[in-house]
Structure 1
């Protein structure tokens, strides 16, 4: 049904301005003639007053339309100097109103109507060579406001989409700065290792007066990085086996190799735990690559000695007398275990190691051949001490920690994965890190009391270029992390990035749908544009059709009849035209927040007072 409200063409030329100029000229002519003419001045004064009145009237009518056309030029990039006073203001605003998302307005039907009219008109503004994108999109609203998102909604996770250079790093800078000022734990996973994001995060910590909160990990700069054990946190030993086996190519012909590798890693991990030793990547590689003989002897010694304290000395003395090798010693321990302990007190953990020890060596080497290169990359060179740290090494002065400790100490942690130099290692580190964080989230959810969960600090997790570190644990954090007070911000370039990793469009959409909020900067992919705008409700736009015609009668050719008609119609369209997502200027976005809000905003460039 067509609305009863009058429909006005918003983007026609400002005819009132030309009329005002004409009447103003007439007023000046009347004033001039009044001084040089011998006619009575009353007539000239009346004419001058009439022309002046009409000029002011036309100017008043032209000014709003002229301002509307001026807004089509767009907004310039805005610098936001983060001083100590501004930090206090941001802290107060976060507490009262929520997360600051820059400036803009809530996009509604009237803004869509203006954009729809402009796209259909012949008066579209020319694009500037100095500004990328169509700046007129932000000019659909006269009054710009400060945009906020309530903190209660932030826990429902946010997806950020945008091509390189569109402003994802600046948006992360804005969000990270506010999380730091709220005194909450922050973890940033950046596959490409953006130096700007790292330095800006450090700057936020310095301005908030807590520089010591900042910590950094970067494989390209091992001397300046912390040491972190990515296998520190787990609830069951099988979790570690799943994490490491997940580094192998999955699916197809690789499935049997991955299953065997997972079983082998699980047996080795169980062996280290029986020996009272926490497994690391280096230890697991040693256990798999060098054989499990030595580890099996240690594990059987621990198990058998708990039942027969003197048995270790007997086997050791026999071995010294006959000078037997390690495999013979292992067989003696296995025989003792099976004859005297297994019937009444079986230990499934050590039985897995025994099975691995008795497995055909040639077949064993083939089955784990795919896993060893992945472990070798993570345990070679400086990475060996970075990812498998020894806390008792007093010669290494670099901090040694793990993810649960980072969260407990309220740290601001930046992980640069250096995927540009070595994408395989960067992806493996990112997946292990996300798996460790998922284990921490599970601990918080399962073992924290209701009171402690209520008063615990939210954890802000920022994942840039998420497709490069995509793994099941990231999906688990999106699905279930809210219960552990994880707030995820996941950034990518297009929907196709997830399709390439997950194998289908449906799986990619399922992944993105786990995020209640979506912030889209400029994106060129048509499928991504359509996916974003299809979630918005359709609206009806009005437009005019003008018809004219001339008719004549063959019997009376000199007689003509004409008609001129104007008709108002409505047509269903998108609330936000999808093609405009490919024309957004830098640092401008469209946000579809949970609950149906659609925001058109722009973000500032945060800088310190010294810059």
Structure 2
């Protein structure tokens, strides 16, 4: 639709049709009766061919105008089955669209002018049909309502799709193509923003499906952390894992369904024992007076973790809570392990001291402690033991018991959140229970196995616990990423190559509910370990409110090099995109009319007048915040590849209801759908009929889920209306 004219006017009557009709009439005359215009038959035939060619050319121009005007009201239908989603080993498919350039800003500006209003409004027949629906329903003429609302090309007044927004934002370029993001750009992290129910989770399904099916190097690690719990997203991951033959690597962790969930110990694996204390205390407030208590909490957790590690135990939240509450018992247990190795008579001396103790002999600062703990302290005062762990325990028990309880008071609520009810079984797994067949995983294991993990935190039921578990997982993942960066993913295995870096796709839905101080180093340094984050959130204010610090919020946002923005309601959020775009020059037509009197009485001219059009250019932003706010559902602007702006629309897949999941996962999915509906499925009413797609690969695995069959219906989305 290129034009050499100063102003490209497409919202106008298709006047080219008149030329095409005139050419058709002249061609018929030249073909049927050349003698009427004094032509020989041979010349008439040639001239008829010329008229036909020029008429077709003008008809093509008219069709471009008609198609453009039609798209301003109703975009072409865009629907895909899940098996049709393109999967590339070098690119990530985002949807269909075009690169936004100057001419698109000019066309959008034209569509916003008053004279274009007639081409954007529905027809009178359409408005009349919508007005009649309510009276027909009151008169119980529902069959007439069904006729008026029938979604078929034979119905000239069928309703527009329930996507809202302004179709002109995408209709400014009829020639859309597939839009891809190079995989090399994903390590720079991607931020997806959009208000509720405009397509964030559906876009996540499209991206996650590609990550699961990508087979470079045996597959990529895919981790999805979903605070609320989206049944369709979980089912989509299962479907894609089975289709890709990777079902043995698929795990589900869900706090709301511990009976079928895999188990996970956030503090069970570490590079340095001090990481255990860091993961726990990092979730405590560090503002104001709380900073001192946070440091005390770190110190005591570190003392407890070191002691348990020396005794040969794997740290768990339950064990840490028990030791912090009853540190006397840990002191006695560790002394019984350590002192006999240093002195064969140590325990006999301690027993003798204990038998001679009474209330009067106990120092004031150790009153309330067990007599055996006091006896151990008396023994160590006369017999120095060069054991740093024992020295740490001594310093803890020498605090006044009441004072000790106060300084760890901020730690106890956090530990109780993580060790209450069925949550304790998931986060503090019993490794010795051979009757519990639920899988136990950790992030290094998942990364080595190229795993696929869905994490549901059940935030709607218990936000505090969900937040604590999410932060623990992030802290654990940061630790693993740091170790991979230094030593490689196969450190400790024969023939390990420190230079081997996996691809870890981390998708964080509602990530403003998960983000904490642990997330910042993951963004800054995780790329070196192969971590590429795709975060989904609603507004910038959500991030700032969660972190409680504007500077930290900007620090987090500054680490996202790719921004995909769906419809948002907050102007500041929209400006995150629009402020990074330049101003462009937009041509405008100005009507000029002038008249003037003639003061010379000796001439016959009394006045003069002139009129015409003047073309001027004015600077305008390439996009405004109002344009982002008016986006239809399922459409987005993407600022990727170093500032290139693309306008995209994506297919929003729905989970296949005919997909056969294992009985435990089916029950979980149904309960998740009852408790939390992540989208209103606005595309169901206008999506094409489903088709059956057989899986392309079957997993051969001893996993109990792998033997189930699956018939995946079409994954489809209605982002427009008519087929072209």
Q: TM-score range by the shorter chain?
A: 0.7 to 0.9
Contact 1:103-1:147 within 8 A present in 2 as well: yes
Change (3 A) 1:350 1:565: farther
Change (3 A) 1:227 1:313: farther
Trace 1:500-511 onto structure 2 (pairs within 5 A).
500-511=545-556
Change (3 A) 1:317 1:203: farther
Change (3 A) 1:311 1:54: closer
Contact 1:304-1:341 within 8 A present in 2 as well: no
Contact 2:262-2:439 within 8 A present in 1 as well: yes
Trace 1:202-281 onto structure 2 (pairs within 5 A).
202-281=238-317
The count of aligned residue pairs is: 592
Q: Which residue is equivalent to 1:327?
A: 370
Report how far residue 412 of structure 1 moved: 0.6
Instruction: Name the SS for the 1:212 alignment partner.
Output: helix
Change (3 A) 1:218 1:170: same
Q: Which residue is equivalent to 1:582?
A: 629
Q: Does 1:339 align with 2:382?
A: yes
Report how far residue 175 of structure 1 moved: 1.4
Report how far residue 261 of structure 1 moved: 2.2
Q: Which residue is equivalent to 2:321?
A: 285
Pick aligned residue for 2:110 from 113, 117, 133: 117
Report how far residue 489 of structure 1 moved: 0.7
Looking at structure 2, the residues matched to 572 and 504 of structure 1 have their Cα atoms a distance apart, in angstroms, of 36
Instruction: Name the SS for the 2:80 alignment partner.
Output: strand
Q: Which residue is equivalent to 2:720?
A: none
Q: Does 1:537 align with 2:582?
A: yes
Q: Does 1:481 align with 2:526?
A: yes
Change (3 A) 1:369 1:77: farther
Report how far residue 318 of structure 1 moved: 6.8
Report how far residue 316 of structure 1 moved: 5.0
Instruction: Name the SS for the 1:452 alignment partner.
Output: coil
Looking at structure 1, the residues matched to 566 and 317 of structure 2 have their Cα atoms a distance apart, in angstroms, of 39
Looking at structure 2, the residues matched to 575 and 197 of structure 1 have their Cα atoms a distance apart, in angstroms, of 35
Instruction: Name the SS for the 2:259 alignment partner.
Output: helix
Report how far residue 42 of structure 1 moved: 5.1
Q: Does 1:566 align with 2:613?
A: yes
Report how far residue 384 of structure 1 moved: 0.9
Trace 1:102-113 onto structure 2 (pairs within 5 A).
102-113=95-106
Per-residue Cα deviation, 1:13-55 (whole angstroms, up to 9, x for no partner): 1251563487489879999xx99xxxx9558999x97998886
Instruction: Name the SS for the 2:518 alignment partner.
Output: helix
Q: Does 1:295 align with 2:342?
A: no
Q: Which residue is equivalent to 2:570?
A: 525
Task: For structure 2, list consecutive stretches of 5 or more residues without a partner in the other structure.
Answer: 123-159, 360-367, 657-692, 694-711, 714-724
TM-score, with structure 1 as normaliser: 0.88
Report how far residue 294 of structure 1 moved: 0.7
Change (3 A) 1:15 1:66: closer
Change (3 A) 1:368 1:534: same
Change (3 A) 1:138 1:452: farther
Change (3 A) 1:57 1:6: closer
- When structure 1 is superposed on structure 2, of 594-603 and 69-78 the one drifting more is 69-78
Q: Which residue is equivalent to 1:81?
A: 81
Q: Which residue is equivalent to 2:652?
A: 605
Report how far residue 336 of structure 1 moved: 2.9
Looking at structure 1, the residues matched to 27 and 78 of structure 2 have their Cα atoms a distance apart, in angstroms, of 43
Report how far residue 537 of structure 1 moved: 3.0
Per-residue Cα deviation, 1:235-260 (whole angstroms, up to 9, x for no partner): 33333223222333341343333232
Q: Does 1:171 align with 2:190?
A: no
Q: Which residue is equivalent to 2:18?
A: 19
Looking at structure 1, the residues matched to 115 and 391 of structure 2 have their Cα atoms a distance apart, in angstroms, of 79
- When structure 1 is superposed on structure 2, of 246-255 and 434-443 the one drifting more is 246-255
Looking at structure 1, the residues matched to 228 and 97 of structure 2 have their Cα atoms a distance apart, in angstroms, of 30
Contact 1:113-1:541 within 8 A present in 2 as well: yes
Looking at structure 2, the residues matched to 260 and 136 of structure 1 have their Cα atoms a distance apart, in angstroms, of 59
Change (3 A) 1:363 1:227: same
Q: Which residue is equivalent to 1:140?
A: 172
Instruction: Name the SS for the 1:80 alignment partner.
Output: coil
Report how far residue 341 of structure 1 moved: 2.7
Contact 1:191-1:465 within 8 A present in 2 as well: yes
Report how far residue 265 of structure 1 moved: 2.0
Looking at structure 1, the residues matched to 498 and 620 of structure 2 have their Cα atoms a distance apart, in angstroms, of 45
Contact 1:23-1:54 within 8 A present in 2 as well: no
Contact 1:589-1:600 within 8 A present in 2 as well: yes
Change (3 A) 1:303 1:74: farther
Looking at structure 2, the residues matched to 168 and 429 of structure 1 have their Cα atoms a distance apart, in angstroms, of 23
Change (3 A) 1:188 1:275: same
Trace 1:342-381 onto structure 2 (pairs within 5 A).
342=385, 345=386, 347-381=387-421
Contact 2:351-2:375 within 8 A present in 1 as well: no
Q: Does 1:411 align with 2:440?
A: no
Q: Which residue is equivalent to 1:199?
A: 235
Contact 1:173-1:197 within 8 A present in 2 as well: yes
Q: Which residue is equivalent to 1:499?
A: 544
Contact 2:567-2:633 within 8 A present in 1 as well: yes
Q: Which residue is equivalent to 1:160?
A: 192
Pick aligned residue for 1:386 from 400, 422, 426: 426
Looking at structure 2, the residues matched to 382 and 354 of structure 1 have their Cα atoms a distance apart, in angstroms, of 34
Looking at structure 2, the residues matched to 509 and 74 of structure 1 have their Cα atoms a distance apart, in angstroms, of 39
Q: Does 1:101 align with 2:133?
A: no
Per-residue Cα deviation, 1:81-139 (whole angstroms, up to 9, x for no partner): 234xx58x62xxx22x4112222222222222222332245315238463322222222
Trace 1:418-457 onto structure 2 (pairs within 5 A).
418-448=458-488, 452-457=497-502
Instruction: Name the SS for the 1:222 alignment partner.
Output: coil
Instruction: Name the SS for the 2:69 alignment partner.
Output: helix
Report how far residue 353 of structure 1 moved: 2.1
Looking at structure 2, the residues matched to 77 and 453 of structure 1 have their Cα atoms a distance apart, in angstroms, of 49
Per-residue Cα deviation, 1:544-577 (whole angstroms, up to 9, x for no partner): 2222133346898993322224333222222233
CA RMSD of aligned residues (A): 3.4
Report how far residue 504 of structure 1 moved: 4.3
Report how far residue 397 of structure 1 moved: 1.8
- When structure 1 is superposed on structure 2, of 467-476 and 101-110 the one drifting more is 101-110
Pick aligned residue for 1:305 from 340, 355, 359: 340
Q: Which residue is equivalent to 1:458?
A: 503
Instruction: Name the SS for the 2:210 alignment partner.
Output: helix
Instruction: Name the SS for the 1:204 alignment partner.
Output: helix
- When structure 1 is superposed on structure 2, of 474-483 and 250-259 the one drifting more is 250-259
